[in-house]
Amino acid sequence: MPTQQSTKFKSAPKDQIYEEILPQIASLVNGEDDLITTLADITALLSQSFGQIDRERINIVDALYLERVFDLLQRKYCAGNL
């Protein structure tokens, strides 16, 4: 479950926020066998950390870090690790 501490980073640079929450995301992925639950928890954590995400403001920093998140998900849920 996302923690309240994440909300303090909303004004920090995106790369700093991602570096701070990636270990939490990895913990969510590794600690849950249900993909839908994991995606919901990750969405909540991202929302807490960044607030409302404007699709037109997504940039290369977002793409690079979200690629790391997708890699974690793929290794867990597409590699037969359930």
Secondary structure class of 64 (helix, strand, coil) = helix
- Residue 48 and residue 7 in contact, taking contact as beta carbons nearer than 8 Å: yes
Check pLDDT > 80 for residue 7.
Answer: no
Q: What is the dihedral of CA 7, 66, 70, 67, to 10 degrees?
A: -150
Q: What is the pLDDT of residues 13-68, one digit of tens each?
A: 888 999 999 999 999 999 889 999 999 999 999 989 988 777 777 788 888 899 99
Residue 29, phi-psi category: left (phi > 0), alpha (psi -120 to 50), beta (remainder): alpha
pTM higher than the cut 0.95: no
Sign of the CA dihedral running 65, 19, 11, 29: positive
Check pLDDT > 90 for residue 8.
Answer: no
pLDDT at 10: 57
